[in-house]
Structure 1
Amino acid sequence: MTELVLDTQVLVNFQHHDFTGHGPHGHRWVDVKSFRFPQGIQDRELLAALVAHEQFRDDYAGGGVDPAGTRHGPYWLKHVTAHAYRPVANTDALRTLRGWASRHGSIPESLEETLASTVHASIDSATSCYHLQDLGHQKFHDWGGVHSDFHEYIAIDQDRALLTLLVAADD
């Protein structure tokens, strides 16, 4: 199996920015995990390696990564496979994330700069981008409906041998 090596992790927490005059922060955040991989690995193999990776076992509800975990985001882990991801145009991924970020109104300039340098830059430089499709409520784990919004993208930059997992949600 392809080995992915965790390179960086950044949590962009909207609450850490001054929303005065911008509407509510909406308890939103984006978790950005970047992984290095050997050159020449096809996207589907990379997606499968990510799903099998320990860092993927994260419920994104405050518990962090659980090496023995059975949850990923709102879903039981067993339902999230490489085939659950669909190719998406980089521009469409950016449009969705920008719309989600500004759904309560404008966002502070400091947050826009942070999103641009982390989230948007990862998608902009990607040679391919994938979106976790909605697997349906029947695939939710026991408390899987806790997020009102949950967006997950995988940006793969084959030129730099970098895969970035982006999860945007709310508390």
Structure 2
Amino acid sequence: MHDMLAHEESALINFRHYTRDPQEHGFRWVDIKQLRFSAESVDDRGLLTALIGHEQFRDDYAGGGVLPDGPRHGPYWLRLITPALYEPIGEEKAVQILQGWLDPLWSVPTELEADLQREVFARLAAADDIYYLGELGDEAIHDWGRVHDYFHEFVLIDRSAGRITLIVAADD
């Protein structure tokens, strides 16, 4: 089923490139993966199933990149992630989660703010549906999965563009 999705492009917003002091929010980043699907594709659950089965989903987000046969996704064992774990949320809730993660007391550098607006917040606004992967619990954490202090994952479905976007915002 993963062949219904075609990887289009990926982007990484590494906060380290926007700050003079790498200790100040320098270990935060946002990874964006875009995949195309055909207009006649299945419902959202089918798209989530295809995404979980796609090789681009096999990324531990810890420096190794995508491993086509990898057993991990972020801090979790891949085999334990199912479409049912994704909670449908609205744009307002997604923005609230991300703004809380960004730290309301931090003055976000102008260039970083512009890149986040273009690459993340504009995509949230354009999405027909937004899904959020909540905490899966200790049993789902893989053998070295605690390298991330925070791990926020959103799946955006934009049917008019025929695009599914995986956004991961994390600290390590």
- Give the TM-score category using the shorter length: over 0.9
Contact 2:131 2:155 in 1 (8 A): yes
- Deviation of the 1:79 alpha carbon: 0.5
1:149 maps to what in 2?
150
Pairs within 5 Å for 1:1-171: 1=1, 3-18=4-19, 24-41=24-41, 42-103=43-104, 105-171=106-172
- Deviation of the 1:8 alpha carbon: 1.2
Q: Distance in 1 between matches of 2:59 and 2:152?
A: 14
- Deviation of the 1:151 alpha carbon: 0.1
Contact 2:19 2:26 in 1 (8 A): no
CA-to-aligned-CA distance 1:5-62 (integer Å, 9 cap, x gap)? 1111000000010356xx8124100000011101132111100000000010000000
CA-to-aligned-CA distance 1:47-97 (integer Å, 9 cap, x gap)? 000000001000000000111100000000001111111101111101111
Q: Distance in 1 between matches of 2:90 and 2:62?
A: 28
Aligned positions, number: 169
Contact 1:34 1:165 in 2 (8 A): yes
SS at match of 2:166: strand
Q: Percent of counterpart pairs with the same letter?
A: 47
Runs of at least 4 residues of structure 1 off by over 4 A?
Answer: none
SS at match of 1:145: helix
Query: Which structure has more helix as a fraction of its residues?
Result: 2
Q: Distance in 2 between matches of 1:68 and 1:45?
A: 21
Q: Distance in 2 between matches of 1:103 and 1:82?
A: 31
- Deviation of the 1:103 alpha carbon: 4.9
Partner amino acid, structure 2, of 1:148: D
5+ unaligned residues in a row in structure 1: which ranges? none
Q: Distance in 1 between matches of 2:124 and 2:158?
A: 9
Contact 1:58 1:72 in 2 (8 A): yes
CA-to-aligned-CA distance 1:117-138 (integer Å, 9 cap, x gap)? 0011111100000001211011
Contact 1:26 1:104 in 2 (8 A): no
5+ unaligned residues in a row in structure 2: which ranges? none
